[in-house]
Amino acid sequence: MKAKWKDEEIVKLFSMIEENNKKNLSTMHSFKQYAKQSGKNPLTIRNFYYSHLKVLKNNTSLCQKLGIDVSKHKIQIFEHFDKMQESELLDKIAEYKKNGFSTRSACMKLSDGNAKQMLRIQNKLRNITRKTKQSTTNSLDNLKTNKQISKTEDTKVIQFPTNGFNKKSRLTDDEIKSLFMGLVKLVKENADADKKEKAEKFLEQTEEERRKRIVELEQKQTEIETLKQQLNELKIKNSSLNKQLEFYRIEYVQKLDSAPNL
């Protein structure tokens, strides 16, 4: 049986989210913060918040009763890529990269400069890449299990012909050169793999920082829209007050004119 939320609990949750939004903290941060204070599950809090926000959007009297300004809260709509959209996304990014664009620039182009949409595309691309790597790893593991990859291939050990080789005989210059080149190649491959791994880690850290900045930018844009709306409301109120003041002035002058002269 679901526990019923008290009015003070609802007000506290919505107030906490409003305060954290001002600090550019995510809504999930608010859910976790409230969970620590209330002992409720963060996902339970998340589900209640979005379902109750829909109720408040359509119930002005309830908003007034609780003192909650729903304009400071936004219902998130999650759109999922289907398989065809995933394929089209990969094809478009590949086409941009052929023309010299970076992955990030390609995502920016596809999002038409929309920060939120760009973040969505980047997250999806990262998810597809991760799944592809995992699928490749699983395939290799299966091949190793079925002994379709030899131990030599798995460890990248270069084997040389042993037929007719006499331990007491001396290696020829060509054999020594071949052995040396093989060792050089192996060392270079290991060095390249190490550099690639370090570069990928660096790019992941850089990308994470970019994602944080994009989220902050999106939150700033939301704040600006809210401020614009509030400013417009103030202008309307100011105009209404000016009209009332003008009416009172006219009424006052008319009373003076109609008053008997002493």
Structure tokens belonging to residue 76: 């998130």
DSSP state of 149: S
Spatial contact of 53 and 63, defined as CB atoms under 8 Å apart: no
Burial of 174 (0-12, 13-18, 19+ CB in 10 A): exposed
pLDDT at residue 107 tops 90 = no
**Higher-pLDDT residue of 206, 146:** 206
Which residues have a Cβ under 8 Å from the Cβ of 240 and sit 6 or more positions away? none
CA 109 to CA 90: how far, in whole Å? 13
110-135 pLDDT, tens digit per residue, is: 777 777 677 778 777 787 877 776 66
The whole-model pTM stands at: 0.35
Q: What is the rounded CA–CA span in Å between residue 226 and residue 228? A: 5
Q: What are the structural domain ranges in the chain?
A: 7-72, 80-155, 171-262
Q: Which amino acid is at 159?
A: Q
